[in-house]
Structure formats: C-alpha cells, structure tokens
Amino acid sequence: MSKNSDTPTPAAPGIPLAGVIGWPVAHSRSPRLHGHWLRRYGIAGHYIPMPVRPEHLAEALRTLPRLGFVGINVTIPHKEAVLALADHVTDRAALIGAANTLILRPDGKIHADNTDGYGFIANLRQHAPDWRPEIGPAALIGAGGAARAVVASLLDAGVRELRIANRTRLRAEQIRTEFGARITVYDWAQAGNMLEGAATVVNATSMGMDGKPALRLPLDALSPDALVTDLVYTPLDTPFLVAARAQGCRTVDGLGMLLHQAAPGFERWFGTRPQVDDDLRRAVLA
Ligand code: ATR
C-alpha cells in the first residue's frame, strides 16, 4: 500500500545530491562552486541548479528529501519564504529573516540556516587578516536582505557602533528596532558624513552591479585607514571600491563572501570542510 504523500520518507541511500533553488536560477554561480569542490575532493555527489517557481516551493521542499537530496542552497526569491516551511530555523536565520542553506535530514525534516554573515566576515578575515571589527565604527550602505546578514555578523564580531544609511530610511530603522542600540540610522543624504571616523565601510546595496548605476558618495570624510568592502562582485572591482582605493583605503571585493558562505553547507552535506582559495576563485570566475 502506498504511503500518504505527506509522510516524510527516508531518502534512498546512494549518491548524495545537493543544489540551489531560485527563480530564476540560471545566473547562480553555486553549481560551479560546489562542482569544483566535489571534483577536487573526489566526492561522489552532485550539485544542480533547480528553477523553482514561488508557487511550487512548498512542494519542492517536501519532495527533494525523498529523492536523495541532503542539502539545498536558497536564492532569490525564496530566502524569506523557506523559513515558514522549515522544521527548524537557527536563531541567526530567524534574526536575519532569511535562510540560504538548508540541511535535509534523512527523516525528511528541514533545518534552515543563514551563512551569509559568516561568509562576509570570513572574506574580510581572509583578505585583511589584521582587520579588527572593534577598533572603530562600521558604516553600512543599504538595508535590504543582504545588509541584514552583514549587520548580524558585524555585531556578532564585536563592532561597537554600526551606522546605516539606506535610500528607504524606514528599512534601516526597522533594522535598528530589531538589532538594537549599537545601530545609528543616518539619512540617505548624509551617507557621506556617516563615513567620518569609520574603520569598516560596506556597500550592501545593489548599486555598482553590472548594468546598474554606480554608488557615488562623497568620500572626503573617509579615512585612508578604513577597510572598504562591497557585496557586489560583478564587476569584482566596483566603482565604489576603485574610488575608495583612490582615497588610500584598503579594499576587499565581494566574491569571497559568496565562496565562504558556501563552505558550511558543503561540509554538512558532503562531510568535508572545503578550502576557499585562488583555485576556487578562478573556477567560479571562469
Ligand atoms: P538584497 O537581498 O540583495 O539586499 P534587496 O533586499 O532588494 O536585495 O536590497 C537592495 C538594497 O539596494 C536596498 O538597500 C536598496 O535600497 P531601498 O531599500 O531603498 O530599496 C538598495 N538600492 C537598490 N537600488 C538602489 C538605488 N538606485 N539607489 C539607492 N539604493 C538602492
């Protein structure tokens, strides 16, 4: 007799499968990234892109564990919606309000986490090993989904004062309400002033991405001692990073955040902690 279709069925033993769900998903670099690691470590597994329409998300998440999937990365537009469909959500994913990494347990239960903030900090620590988050204020431009992960990770890393400016001020104020007193909200028109004395500066808007206008802020107040980073990685060297270097600042591009956020998921699904190195960067950029 066939089982009720809502009953979780243990995944068939065999080659572990993982993949990324999004709509659209063709732009995702995750298959290339995880594919590189699978080959490099000689792991018999597969990682595939899966275009999933929003109206099919719940059905996809019920079905994938039964097909042998052990893990899923989640990209736009599903990162918020998966929280309501998961059986367990980590505190940081709940605080950020989005998940990017799902662990599909053998009993069909879904565990949702957010590793974007981890990826953000790991990228800075790899490329600026002497960076100290507690040394001075951080200034964040943007207050969208990616910015929320950056906020969580910077506060966790010990930043004492976090300034935020966003075109839509209300979203920055919402972050202050949720994340607390270390956050100061600046007016979008004051974003240049916000940089004064900042030790860490982050662009978490989509400005500067290929095909979009550059982020242009007055940088006169920016100290050459500041570390400046951008979440945009297409292009790698954004106009904002170029301008910050012209001001004498050290810059870190955003690709490493993508690479590092993938590592905890890969380790949980395939049992090997992967290296984030130049080979991986080249493979993802190829
Ligand atoms: P993501 O998940 O990548 O963060 P998002 O939640 O849509 O995507 O956030 C995009 C961010 O870029 C927001 O901070 C957005 O500002 P608003 O909250 O005002 O929309 C910012 N952004 C996008 N286009 C912008 C523009 N032309 N000028 C200023 N900010 C912009």
Give the lowest-confidence range in 10-14, 276-280, 282-286. 10-14
Report the catalytic residues: 79
**Could you tell me the pTM of the whole model?**
0.94
Q: Give me the pLDDT at residue 13, please.
A: 62
b/e code 89-111 from CB counts within 10 Å (16+ = b): bbebbebbbbbbbbbbbeebebb
The residue whose CB lies within 8 Å of the most ligand 1 atoms, and thus the one to mutate among 206, 238, 261, is 206
Q: Give me the pLDDT at residue 5, please.
A: 46
pLDDT tens for each residue of 236-270 = 999 999 999 999 999 999 999 999 999 999 999 99
Q: Hey, what domains does the chain have and what are their CATH numbers?
A: 17-114+258-285 (3.40.50.10860), 117-253 (3.40.50.720)
**What average pLDDT does the structure give for the chain?**
95
CA distance 64 to 51: 13
Q: Give me the pLDDT at residue 7, please.
A: 47
- Is 10's pLDDT higher than 80? no
- Is 105's pLDDT higher than 60? yes
Sign of CA dihedral 226, 230, 233, 236: negative
Enclosing H/E stretch for 174: helix 169-179
Ligand 1 contact, 164 CB (< 6 A): no
Q: Give me the pLDDT at residue 250, please.
A: 98
Ligand 1 contact, 146 CB (< 6 A): yes
Of the candidates 102, 108, 83, the residue with the CA atom closest to the CA atom of residue 20: 102
3-state secondary structure of 62: helix
Mean pLDDT of 13-37: 95
- Cα 271–Cα 276–Cα 277 angle in degrees, nearest 5: 135
User: If you take atom 26 of ligand 1, which residue's CA is the nearest one?
Assistant: 207
Q: How far is the first Cα of the chain from the last one, in angstroms, to the nearest whole number? A: 50
* Strands of 88-89's sheet in order across: 46-51, 17-22, 69-74, 101-104, 110-113, 88-89
Question: Given the CA of residue 143, which atom of ligand 1 is nearest to it?
Answer: 14
Question: Given the CA of residue 188, which atom of ligand 1 is nearest to it?
Answer: 29
Q: Give me the pLDDT at residue 4, please.
A: 46
- Spacing of C-alpha 238 from chain mean position: 18
User: pLDDT category, 12, cuts 50, 70, 90?
Assistant: very low
Mean pLDDT of 181-187: 97
CA distance 158 to 135: 9
Q: Give me the pLDDT at residue 14, please.
A: 81
- Is 2's pLDDT higher than 70? no
Residues 6+ positions from 212 with CB-CB distance below 8 Å? 206
Q: Ligand 1 centroid to 262 CA: how many Å? A: 23
- Is 28's pLDDT higher than 70? yes
